[in-house]
Amino acid sequence: MNIILAQPRGFCAGVVRAIDTVEQALEQFGAPVYVRHEIVHNRHVVQTLRDQGAVFVDELERVPVGALTIFSAHGVAREVERQALERQLQVVDATCPLVTKVHNHARQYAAKGYQLILIGEPGHPEVIGILGQVDAPITLIQTVEQVRALDFPADTLLAYLTQTTLSVDDTRTVVKTLTQRYPNIVGPDARDICYAVQNRQQAVRELCAQVDVLLVVGNANSANATTLCKQANDSGTPSYLVSDGSEVDTRWFTPEMSVGISAGASTPEVSVQDVIAALARFAPLHIQTLPGREEHVQFRLPPGLIARQ
| Residues taking part in catalysis | 126
Residue 12 DSSP SS3: coil
Give the largest CA-CA distance in the chain. Answer: 64
* Helices within the chain (DSSP H only): 13-29, 43-52, 78-86, 97-111, 125-131, 144-148, 168-181, 195-208, 223-234, 269-280
- CB atoms closer than 10 angstroms to residue 159: 20
Name beta bridge partners: 289.
Answer: 5
Q: What is the DSSP letter of 39?
A: S
Q: What is the DSSP letter of 304?
A: T
Alpha-carbon span 179 to 117, nearest angstrom: 12
Name beta bridge partners: 90.
Answer: 68
Measure the CA angle with vertex 188, ends 156 and 19; round to 5°.
Answer: 130
Residue 269 Cα distances to 16, 59, 103, angstroms? 12, 30, 30
